[in-house]
Amino acid sequence: MKDIRIAAVVMNCPVGEVEENLNRMDGFVDTAADHEIEIVCFPELNITGYCNRPEMARTALPLNGPEVKQIQGMAKSTGMVILAGMAEKGPGDIVYASHLALHPDGRVDVYRKLHIAPPERGVFSPGNTIPIFTTAGIQFGIQLCYDAHFPELTTAMAAQGAELIFIPHASPRGDAKQKHTSWMRHLPARAFDNSLFIIACNQTGENCNGLSFPGNAVAIDPAGNVLEKRLSGGEGLLMVDLKKAALDDVRNHEMRFFFPNRRPDLFGP
C-alpha cells in the first residue's frame, strides 16, 4: 500500500429521500475534495436510507439508474473514490443491501452484504461473493454492519490481500459513546488479528421511518489501536491519514504478524 488520506462520513439518511440524500452527499464530497481525500466512505444505505420493513423494496434502485450515474459524476469531477450504499434492486423481487465503490474512471464495483441480521431477513437477500477492490494504491474490502461480527469474513479478505476494510453501518440504538463502546468489543480484534486498517462509520439522527442512529466513526490501525474517533452524534467527516509504515511495522515483524502462520488445513472448509 501507499500512504493515503481517507474520510468516513457520519450522515443523516432519511428513508426514501433519495434526492435529498444525494444532495447531502455532494456537499460532503466537495468538503472531502477540499481536504485532498482520496477515498471517502458513506454509511450503509446512505442513498436510499435504511429500514428493515417491506417498503425497502419500493425504495431499491438499479445499478444502472440515474442515481448511480450522478455519483459517478461526483467521482470523476473530484478524482476521488466514493463508497456509497443503497438498497439495490436485483432480479425479480430480490433486494440487496449493497455498497458501491465508484471510481474516477467510471468503474463501479459492488459489495453485497453477506450476513443478513435477523430483523432484516425477508427484506434483504444476501450476497454470495467476497470481493477485494484495488484503487488509489491500496487493496481494500467492504463489510456492512452485521458482517463485522463474523471473524472469518475479515480473514477471507485478508487472505485475498486486503490492507484496509471499510465497515459502513446503519446501526441504531444508544448514543455515539455507547455505540463506540460496542464497536470496541470486536473492531480492534478484526484489525489486530489480520494486521490491517479498519474504518467504520454510521448513520446519524432520525431516519423518518422509526429508527434513530447515534452517528459515530472510528479508524483503527493494524495493531488494533484507535487512530481517530468521532463521537459527536452530529453529521460530519472523520478524516485520517493511513500510513504505509504503520502496516509495515506490523507485517515485517515476525512476532506481530500472525497471519502467515495460520493453519487453515486444521479447520476444514
18-34 and 66-78 helices, crossing angle to 10°? 10
pLDDT band at 136 (very low <50, low <70, confident <90, very high): confident
**pLDDT tens digits for range 173-229:** 889 999 999 999 999 999 999 999 999 999 999 887 788 999 999 999 999 999 999
User: Which residues form the domain of 65?
Assistant: 4-258
Give the pLDDT mean for 137-158. Answer: 97
Residue 42 per-residue DSSP state: P
In a domain? residue 269: no
> For residue 210, what is the domain's CATH number?
3.60.110.10
Give the whole-angstrom CA distance, residue 266 versus residue 269.
Answer: 10
Q: Is the pLDDT of residue 135 over 80?
A: yes
Q: Provide the number of structural domains found in the chain.
A: 1
Question: Quick check: is 210 in a domain?
Answer: yes
Distances, alpha carbon 156 to alpha carbons 122, 163, 250, 264, in Å: 27, 12, 19, 11
Domain for residue 58, yes or no?
yes
Please check whether residue 226 lies inside any domain of the structure. Answer: yes
Q: Is 93 helix (H, G, I), strand (E, B) or coil?
A: coil
pLDDT band at 93 (very low <50, low <70, confident <90, very high): confident
Contacts of 157 (CB under 8 A, 6+ apart): 130, 132, 141, 143, 165, 194
Question: How much is the pLDDT for 223?
Answer: 97
In a domain, 54, yes or no: yes
| pLDDT surpassing 80 at residue 104 | yes
CB atoms within 10 A of CB 267: 8
How confident is the model over 46-80, as pLDDT tens digits?
999 999 988 899 999 999 999 999 999 999 999 99
In a domain, 47, yes or no: yes
Residue 74, in any domain of the structure:
yes
Is the pLDDT at 233 greater than 80? The verdict is: no
Over the stretch 4-18, which tens digit does the pLDDT of each residue have?
Answer: 999 999 999 999 999
Q: Model-level pTM?
A: 0.97
Say if 268 falls within a structural domain.
Answer: no
